[in-house]
Structure 1
Amino acid sequence: MSILDITVVSVALNTFVKEFDATTAQVAWTMTGYTLALASVIPLTGWAADRFGTKRLYLLAIVLFTLGSALCAVAGSLEQLIIFRVIQGLGGGMLMPLGMTILTRAAGADRVGRVMAVLGIPMLLGPICGPILGGWLIDSASWHWIFLINVPIGVIALVYAFKALPADHVEPSETFDWLGMVLLSPGLAAFLYGVSMVPETGTVWDAEVLAPAAIGLLLVIAFVPWALNGRNKHPLVDLTLFKNRQMTVAVIAMSLFALAFFGASLLFPMYFQVAHGETPLKSGILLAPQGVGAMLTMPLAGFLADKIGPGKVVIPGIALIALGMGMFATLDSDTGYAFLLTALFIQGLGMGATMMPIMSAALATLKEHQIARGSTLMNIIQQVAASAGTALFSVLITNAFADRASTALATAGEDESKVAEVLRKFGINPEAIPDVMAKFPDDVAWAFQGAFVVATILVVAVLIPALLLPRKKMVADADRPPVMVH
């Protein structure tokens, strides 16, 4: 639910504009509010899991997410919808690290690769299925159903989790890091808010971006010496985990991967909608080859990561992703669907052999008392990297498109200033692109081509830390259960 919900709502933004008679910038808060709540609650999850137990906290997370979904479905105004999305985000932020901590504790280190391979399938399919599901629900019913669909699933999950998960046996001993919370949670929220405003402003140099991002970054930086202070026995986030070389290398690899993959994921449906005039629903369906490729290689990659080491699996996986992304970097106005779908399938094959084995390399090294804190740390890093990737590629495509369009429109004698204003909003609402741009297919292709070149370079950069990943079988250790993140 939490994975799908991020992309499902993105399809409904244009519907919200019409439904609530609002601007694109205003309805974008339905996504920004969710992201900020997510970022704020993740740092608290590690301490809360140790203090109250993973089962109790997981049940609370399901309740918050399901309740937030039900409230969103009955929202009568945009302001209410944004507030209810924050409630939903508070639950979603805890679901990810808690769910994976519970699952991988039960799996054992010798099976971490195979377990993550199975669990990784919905993680990769979420960004693909989200637009399809959202488009279908909006077209066949109404926008309310993109939230209502979570309610019965949430109730089933709550009942099953209550019965199936083992009871918590906790002995609370850790004090709460109040100063850490004051520094880190608002810091992450402010930084991600600034980053999320980049697509709206079109530049990182706008005060609306720089001010909150700088304040947030300063708060996060101030947290570092406090967390490493020897007198602080139980910091909100355990930064000493970075002393583990294997985990540090894998975290770097995962950060680069999240930056490239989640950022570039924004481009594919946008390309089909703008360059080929497809609907959100059909553009989502066209991404299916990527999911098929991932499902084919992911189970095998998980098995091999356990047997021969993740390093030997990740490197060819990255090579396949780079090949598929590089094919998109050569597209022009005449590029056919056969070429594009083949490129997506190749990327899917690579992704199935990349994301989860990278996690295996780090997560199997954590000891029992580190599991919840390690999951929290990696969720924070991945969330920041994914948000930065989305902002980066939004700006790249928006500015490249606007630059090419301005020249083409001026040459054609169109009203440049009027259309340029619409193009500035391109990264948030692709459907706002005027029909006049259909006259300039070469310029549209050129704009996307440049963004895909950057994505290809970032994917290739993942090879640097990947070369340092373990290339032999990871030995299971009963004292070191693994942890997994979304």
Structure 2
Amino acid sequence: MPANSAGPEPLGRDLLRLMGVLLAGASVALLDTTIVAVAMEELTRAFGTTVRTAQWATTGYLLAMAAAIPLLGWLTDRWGARRVWLGTLWVFLAGSALCGLAWSIESLIVFRVVQGLGAGLILPLVQAILAGAAGPQRIGRVMGLIGIPGQLAPILGPVVGGLVLGSLGWRWIFLVNIPLCLLALALAHRHLHPPPPRGRARLDLTGALLLVPGTVAILAGLTLADDLSNSPTTAVGLLAGGAALLAGFVLHARRRGEAALVDLRLFRYRSFSTATVMMFLSGASLYGPMLLLPLYYQQARGVPVGEVGWLVAPQGLGLMAGLWVAGRWADRGGPRIVALTGAALACAGLGVFVLAGGAPLPVLSAGLVALGAGLGGIGVAVSATAYRDLPAAVIPRATSLLNVVQRIGASVGTVVVAFVLHRLLAGLDTATAFAHTFAWALGFAAVAALVMPFLPATAPAPPPPADTHDTEARTTTCEP
């Protein structure tokens, strides 16, 4: 395995402090989605509405997140990462307070959209700020470490949500975000000092009117397609309209060049192009099994709903371990070997459910640990590759594009496995139907493995001595 004989550049106290400051804000968004999911039944009773209507409080939130992401690059260029971070936290705080004061399901849905507009920028901003501060020599370890708390959210969210819901009521599901946001704002005001904005960047209004609704329409269409009780007409119409808008954006962006809302010339960087394809496939590989696993344990193994969370937890534990190890490995040996190892582990984990779905639960748990570790390795390798050759100035716009692609890939993965499972359950016994559907999820991981040989085989070269001041500038973006 090729390695950097000088050893990777140390993270340093300033970069670790920056990670802590950003995690204080990111934790709010990470916990919010899973906390609110627990309250859906209570919201249905409180507002006297149906589950389908109440579900729009979550769907509207997710679509608002998707709408905000394409604007990240322009907002950061125009006002700088610090102002955008603070503004994003304030929007999320305001949305949380309004949700806690909601008087009807309609008002709650509207306020969840406000909350989602803030949440949509929080995690991509964390990614963009840290990618710029870390540089290519440290990006693997940084993305690995920053990803570990994200894996705790699906585990802690339902627990915290249940405690808050049982003791304080549904309004505090949202109001609990306020002190957390205020803490994150105080830390950012004191410590966060990233580079100043590039200047008065003009908004590509035409591009925004094409890309933002196009992305939302695609994701909304895939969401409706995922619900097989819906008529396919609406979903097909949204998907066709979204595809037309995105095609229009591509034509527009090619004419606008770097002035476009998202600069498509980023695809001239081979490493970024490869990482974008991998981001789509890894999104499908991660979220497809996330949909299948709870259903499998309930329908094929007869596990009570309350115990399912404990049985899928080994995947999260494996993912955290994979992120930790892969982050260090990617910075030393390069992304390719990390991704290939991750693909082997993920395929082995999914293979357990394809070939031995009737095995004892400990065997399935071992498969989940392998699946999680493999997906963690793939995720770190993709991040290390995506930012490897990019100039610092284009990182926010590149982050927007990567996040949009990942969300579409995740939606495609869930729609495909839901459709396949629905069709197979109509003609096969439950165990066989799930085994065949897991084989489709395995196919996503196998296709991703075919792209991995195009990832860089070596770790990034250390910067020349003349660039030492650039490294110092990156690591002083968080002051004590």
TM-score class, shorter-chain normalisation, is 0.7 to 0.9
Choose 237-246 or 341-350, whichever is displaced more.
Answer: 341-350
1:285 aligns with 2:310: yes
| 1:73 positional shift | 2.8
Asked whether the 8 Å contact 1:202–1:398 carries over to 2, the reply is no
Tell me, yes or no, if structure 1 residue 468 matches structure 2 residue 454.
yes
Q: Aligned partner of 1:306: which letter? A: D
Q: Distance in 1 between matches of 2:185 and 2:322?
A: 32
Tell me the matched-pair count: 441
Any residues of structure 2 matched to 1:362-377 within 5 Å, and which?
362-377=386-401
Cross-structure match for 1:169:
196
Task: Give 1:90 deviation, angstroms.
Answer: 0.2
CA distance in 2 between partners of 1:165 and 1:258 (Å): 30
SS where residue 109 of structure 1 aligns?
A: coil
Give the TM-score normalised by structure 1. Answer: 0.84
Following superposition, the deviation at residue 263 of structure 1 comes to: 2.2
Please list, as runs of the form range in 1=range in 2, the aligned pairs for 1:55-454 lying within 5 A after superposition: 55-135=82-162, 137-138=164-165, 142-166=169-193, 169-202=196-229, 206-229=232-255, 231=256, 233-276=258-301, 278=303, 281-332=306-357, 334-401=358-425, 403-404=426-427, 443-454=429-440
Shift of 1:128: 4.3
Q: Is the 8 A contact 2:258 2:265 kept in 1?
A: no
Q: TM-score, normalised by structure 2?
A: 0.85
For 1:363 and 1:178, how far apart are their aligned partners in 2? 27
The aligned residue for residue 54 of structure 1 is: 81
Secondary structure (helix, strand or coil) at the match of 2:138 reads helix
Whole-angstrom CA distance in 2 between matches of 1:146 and 1:292: 26
Identity within the alignment, %? 36
Deviation at 1:330, TM superposition (A): 3.1
Q: Residues 306 and 473 of structure 1 are in contact (CA less than 8 Å); yes or no, is this contact kept in structure 2?
A: yes
CA separation of 1:63 and 1:75: change in aligned 2, threshold 3 A: same
- Return the offset for 1:49: 0.6
Which deviates more, 140-149 or 290-299? 140-149
Structure 1: 5+ residue runs without aligned partners?
408-442
Q: Deviations over 1:434-458 (max 9, x none)?
A: xxxxxxxxx3333322321111111
| Structure 1 pair 296–445 and aligned structure 2 pair: CA distance change class (3 A) | same
CA positional deviation for 1:397: 3.1
**Which amino acid in structure 2 is aligned with residue 228 of structure 1?**
R
| CA shift for structure 1 position 207 | 0.8
Q: Distance in 2 between matches of 1:171 and 1:359?
A: 24
Q: Distance in 2 between matches of 1:80 and 1:455?
A: 38
Following superposition, the deviation at residue 168 of structure 1 comes to 5.6
What is the CA RMSD across the aligned residues, in angstroms? 2.5
Mapped partners of 1:78, 1:43: distance in 2: 28
- What is the distance in 1 between the residues matched to 2:376 and 2:245? 36
8 A Cα contact 1:321 1:348, kept in partner: yes
Determine the C-alpha separation between the residues in 2 that align with 1:240 and 1:352: 29
Using the alignment, how far apart are the partners of 2:155 and 2:437 within structure 1?
Answer: 20
Give the deviation of 1:322 after TM superposition.
Answer: 0.9
CA 1:272/1:73 → structure 2, altered by over 3 Å: closer, same or farther?
Answer: farther
CA distance in structure 2 between the partners assigned to 1:214 and 1:377 by the alignment: 20
- Specify the code of the residue in structure 2 equivalent to 1:446: T
Which residue of 2 is the match for residue 421 of structure 1?
A: none
Give the direction of change, closer, same or farther, for the CA distance of 1:320–1:281 in structure 2 (3 Å limit). same
The 3 A distance-change label for structure 1 pair 278 and 179 is: same
On the 8 A contact 1:129/1:284 being kept in 2, the answer is no
CA–CA distance in 2 between the matches of 1:8 and 1:331?
33
